[in-house]
Amino acid sequence: MAIISQDSDLDWTSPDDPDCPYNWPLWKRIYMTSIPAFLCVNVSFASSVYTSGTNDISQQFDVSRTESLLGLSLFLWALGLGAIIAAPVSEYYGRRIVYLTTVPVFGLFTLGSGLAQNFVTLIVCRTFAGFFGSAVVSVGGGTNADLWQPTLAGVVYPFYFVSPFLGPAFGPVIGGYLSEAKGWRWLQWVILFMVIFNYLYALPQSETYKKTILEKRMQAEKGPNVSSIRPFNVTLPSRAILQRILLKPFKMLFVESIVLFMTIYMAFNFAVFYSFFAAFPYIFGPGGHYSFTSGQQGLTFLSIALGCVVGFVAVVYIDRRTYPALETKYGLGKVPPEYRLYGAMVGSALNPASLFWFGWSANAGTYWASPVVAAVPFAVGNIMVYSSGALYIMNSYGSLHGASALSANSLLRYAFGGAFPLFTVQLFSSLGIGWASSLLGFISIVLVPVPWVLYKYGKRIRAHSRYIMVGAS
């Protein structure tokens, strides 16, 4: 067993090392992959289902509709902030401990949200729930990188990558009728029931992070006082903690061009996605163009869910049609990451087209099916851009730095996602539905070239990265 350096990994004894997650039984890897996917659906569902109760919250706590949306925005901002800490912590202590310690705290603050007797308590609990729920959002990509070789990444990863969008899409579908029948507090109880189920499901999980597995194995073989191994009960100096846990994702966001530009594109799409949770009630709800009830309005989000599923299938289809031939050409594990961008390149055209269609059909007051269906291609394009972009980032930076790169991505995505709903209604009421949606469409057009440029110049950009091994494809 080779020891490289304190900042590098120990190495596997051979490619067939049974402790390597790549060599685990298929059923075990599928189970391990499903854990962050289910938890991510849980947390992302918690973000949007809250919006189904904002009218009740406004009335009960005597706040405006925009103020009531702080429960959504603060939750999302906390998700992004927590990701900056959770992902690097998982690269230091391992993935398992992060999942098993943060999820129960997320559940406790969800309980606090449901029991809140005033608005301040509600939004404080929602904020901390988002912060502790962030781990499953940011660490899941690293878990998948631990478990699956690049040859299968294009099939397996999208199962996880679709979860931050499927969860929010189903939130209003379930929450609309539930809030009508039981009130807004029951929205929190549903989240809590999901937390209990998912936590029990996740308890038997094994550690997947290479460094943690090998360090524990070395400790077991030679005792806990081996100088080459970092003892788990020793706290790093504060400066090193800041550098490892806080600064690395920020540094990658602003120093790594791949992370920066792909993140800006993905963050804007994510923000538009979450703006729908304010725009749909404005357009379809009581007082809007269509005057749907809360339950009926929630059903319009089924178009988003359908688009997410179609986008997932499209990404997997493109990968299976292209990647095996590329592996034959370049060799296993040697395909340049830029080929992961095919899905984003295809999906990039769908987003602006969908926004123009959605805005002007709703503005004209056409039959409700037209603007509802118009949201489908946006959801398809959004999933294709996100899945391909996240795969590209993970393939570029690998399991060692990929979680930090994706946590930087999460920070900006959730910052944008939390901000947009706060001004969406004002934007649509000031400019009109058609022009407000068109403004978002024009910005989307400006961002379309991002995956195309990275596809062409990505290899040259990666050559200057300090986080990518020299000589990588």
**Percent of all residues in the chain with a pLDDT value above 90, rounded to a whole number:** 54
- As a whole number, mean pLDDT of residues 193-208 equals 94
- The pLDDT tens digits for 356-368 are 999 999 999 899 9
Encode 328-358: b = buried (16+ Cβ within 10 Å), e = exposed: eeeeeeebbbbbbbbbbbbbbebbbbbbbbb
What whole-number distance in Å separates Cα of residue 14 and Cα of residue 318?
Answer: 33
Place of tokens 């009109």: 432
Evaluate if residue 229 carries a pLDDT over 50: no
How many whole angstroms separate alpha carbon 458 and alpha carbon 466?
14
pLDDT for 162: 87
Asked whether 249 and 408 are in contact (CB, 8 A), the reply is yes
pLDDT of residue 392: 92
Distance (Å, whole) CA 147 – CA 29: 6
Buried/exposed 270-287: b ≥16 CB within 10 Å, e otherwise: bbbbbbbbbbbbbbbbee
d(CA 345, CA 454): 10
pLDDT band at 388 (very low <50, low <70, confident <90, very high): very high
Which tens digits make up the pLDDT trace of 446-471? 999 999 999 999 989 988 888 875 44
What token pair was written down for 306? 């359908």
> CA dist 242 to 6, 70, 245, 328, 400, Å?
18, 29, 5, 43, 18
In the numeric block, the tokens 């949770």 are attached to: 277
Q: How confident is the model at residue 9 (pLDDT cuts 50, 70, 90)?
A: very low
SS3 89: helix
Reported as a single tens digit per residue, the pLDDT across 21-67 is: 999 999 999 999 999 999 999 999 999 999 988 889 999 999 988 88
Percentage with pLDDT > 70 across the chain = 92
Unique residue bearing structure tokens 């990518």: 468
What is the per-residue pLDDT across 303-339, written as a single tens digit (0 to 9) for each?
A: 999 999 999 999 989 988 998 899 888 887 788 999 9
Lowest mean pLDDT among 134-143, 241-250, 336-345, 423-432: 241-250
Kindly report the number of other CB atoms within 10 A of residue 216's CB atom: 15
Average pLDDT over residues 99-122: 95
437 Ramachandran zone, left/alpha/beta (phi>0; psi -120 to 50)? alpha
Mean pLDDT of the chain: 87
Element spanning 405, H or E: helix 369-431
Reported as a pLDDT band with limits 50, 70 and 90, residue 1 is very low
Q: Which residue has the tokens 């296993």?
A: 332
Above 60 in pLDDT, residue 78?
A: yes
Q: Flag whether pLDDT at 6 surpasses 50.
A: no
Q: What are phi and psi of 40, to 5 degrees?
A: -70, -40
Is the pLDDT assigned to residue 398 strictly greater than 80? no
| Tokens of residue 330, six digits | 């370049």
